[in-house]
């Protein structure tokens, strides 16, 4: 038996992960002098409300000891563990996973993968590995399935301001300055495991700009698309959903995906985006 473990920044709903047989280990959000487990002790909207009022939220990676304990637990009932995590350029979580496997001297049974991604794209890689296992694949083929999805994914996000990413040390002051222009929204994407500002566009063009990018990348290929949104703004969610359904893209599967507390603490309220990969 092979277990698939990921961290909470995959932003998979707990009930969905449980149903699919995916194990999740949480990062921590520090807010109002409290340590809160991602998705377990805190809801994403609580982070955004706090940030909109001028408060700050920071995050901490999964500890080596927490990984070691979870690995011991999983290896009591499984032969191997595939451990897929958010980019090592964004968090020490994946490095802590490797250190825990080495501490237990279980590197042959624990396969740690740095996805180079976070949130919805990370979830896609995790689900690919899990499906490979369910279809009878071994650990090597499951890791290869996850890596293949990582290479296929196109994901972009738009944020109203780069200030939150600057505060978290994810981008420099100069980048934040040029991205925070009135009436303009920065577009971000993953490059080399980092979340980087790619371009800027007018606020009312951001949605179309990102969907045009999907078309440029994939043309008329059948696609799986996820609509990524921060918070439960029903109006924004409806607008994003409508944009996909009227885009003319060859959408075979679509889903809504909410950014979690840890990811939200870095990108801030008002973030939205799209992830696409071949169906």
CATH number at residue 167: 3.30.1180.10
168 lies in some domain: yes
Max CA pair span of the chain: 55
Could you say which of 151, 168, 184 is where a domain stops? 151
Quote the domain boundaries for residue 106. Answer: 2-27+62-151
Show the tokens assigned to 184.
Answer: 């303009």
Using a pLDDT cut of 90, give the percent of the chain over it: 84
| SS3 call for 187 | strand
Tell me if 55 is assigned to some domain. no
* Cα–Cα distance for residue pair 258/151, rounded to 1 Å: 22
Give the least confident one: 3-12, 123-132, 162-171: 162-171
pLDDT at 174 > cutoff 50: no
Please tell me whether residues 208 and 171 are part of one structural domain.
yes
- Written as six digits, the tokens of 228 are 């990524």
Query: Cα–Cα distance between 32 and 22 in angstroms, integer?
Result: 31
pLDDT tens digits along 182-196: 678 889 999 999 988
Instruction: Among 115, 133, 151, give the residue marking a domain's end.
Output: 151
Do both 161 and 213 map to the same domain?
yes
Assigned domain for 54 exists: no
* Burial class of 250 by CB neighbour count within 10 A (0 to 12, 13 to 18, 19+): middle
Q: Do 144 and 170 belong together in one domain? A: no
- Examine the pLDDT at 274 and tell me if it is beyond 70: yes
* In contact, 82 and 3? CB cutoff 8 Å: yes
Q: Same domain for 6 and 126?
A: yes
pLDDT band at 119 (very low <50, low <70, confident <90, very high): very high
**Same domain assignment for residues 160 and 238:** yes
Is residue 39 situated within a structural domain? no
DSSP result, 5-65: EEEGGG---HHHHHHHTEEEE--EEEETTEEEEBTTTB-HHHHHHHHHTT---EEEPPPHH
The reply to whether 76 falls in a domain is: yes
Co-location of 172 and 274 in the same domain: yes
Mean pLDDT computed over every residue of the chain: 93
In a domain, 34, yes or no: no
What pLDDT is stored for residue 126 in this prediction? 98
Residues 180 and 271 in one domain: yes
Same domain, 163 and 99: no
**pLDDT surpasses 60 at 169:** no
Question: What is the pLDDT confidence band of residue 229, given thresholds at 50, 70 and 90?
Answer: very high
> Does the pLDDT at position 163 exceed 80?
no
Residue where one domain finishes, among candidates 151, 176, 202:
151
Please tell me the predicted confidence (pLDDT) of residue 161.
77
Does the reported pTM lie above 0.85?
A: yes
Place of tokens 């955004």: 48
Q: What pLDDT, on the 0 to 100 scale, is given for residue 182?
A: 60
Q: What are phi and psi of 51, to 5 degrees?
A: -70, -40
Specify the pLDDT at position 184: 83
What are the pLDDT digits (tens) for 230-255? 999 999 999 999 999 999 999 999 99
- Mean pLDDT, rounded, for 18-25: 96
| Bridge pairing between strands 58-60 and 28-31 | antiparallel
Residue linked to tokens 């071994």: 138
pLDDT for the residue numbered 33: 93
In a domain, 53, yes or no: no
Residue 103 sits in the same domain as residue 7: yes
**Number of domains within the chain:** 2
Taking residues 168-194, report their average pLDDT: 70
In a domain, 47, yes or no: no
The candidate with the shortest Cα–Cα distance to 78, out of 103, 107, 102, 110, is 110
CA trace torsion 122, 156, 199, 236 (10° rounding): -130
Alpha-carbon distance 55 to 29, whole Å? Answer: 13
**How many angstroms separate the CA atoms of 84 and 73, rounded?**
17
Q: Rounded mean pLDDT of 59-68?
A: 98
| Mean per-residue pLDDT, 133-142 | 97
* 125 lies in the same domain as 172: no
Q: Are residues 130 and 20 in the same domain?
A: yes
14 lies in the same domain as 97: yes
223-229, strands of its sheet edge to edge: 194-202, 184-191, 154-158, 272-278, 223-229, 251-258
């Amino acid at each position: 038996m092979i277990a698939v473990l990921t961290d909470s920044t995959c932003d998979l709903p707990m009930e969905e992960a449980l149903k699919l047989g995916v194990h999740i280990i949480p990062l921590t959000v520090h807010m109002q002098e409290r340590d809160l487990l991602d998705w377990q002790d805190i809801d994403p909207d609580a982070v955004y409300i706090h940030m909109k009022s001028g408060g700050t939220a920071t995050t901490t990676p999964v500890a080596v000891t927490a990984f070691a304990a979870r690995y011991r637990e999983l290896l009591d009932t499984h032969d191997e563990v595939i451990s897929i995590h958010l980019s090592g350029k964004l968090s020490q979580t994946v490095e802590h996973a490797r250190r825990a496997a080495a501490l237990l001297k279980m590197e042959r049974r624990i396969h740690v993968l740095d996805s180079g991604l976070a949130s919805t794209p990370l979830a896609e890689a995790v689900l690919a590995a899990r499906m490979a296992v369910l279809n009878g694949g071994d650990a090597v083929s499951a890791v290869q399935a996850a890596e293949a999805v990582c290479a296929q994914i196109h994901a972009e996000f738009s944020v109203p301001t780069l200030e939150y990413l600057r505060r978290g040390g994810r981008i420099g002051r100069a980048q934040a300055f040029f991205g925070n222009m009135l009436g303009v929204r920065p577009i971000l994407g993953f490059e080399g495991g980092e979340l980087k500002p790619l371009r800027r566009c007018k606020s009312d063009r951001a949605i179309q700009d990102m969907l045009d990018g999907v078309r440029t990348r994939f043309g008329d290929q059948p696609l799986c698309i996820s609509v990524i949104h921060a918070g439960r703004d029903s109006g924004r969610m409806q607008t994003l959903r409508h944009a996909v359904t009227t885009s003319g893209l060859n959408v075979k599967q679509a889903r809504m995906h909410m950014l979690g507390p840890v990811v939200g603490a870095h990108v801030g309220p008002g973030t939205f985006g799209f992830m696409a990969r071949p169906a």
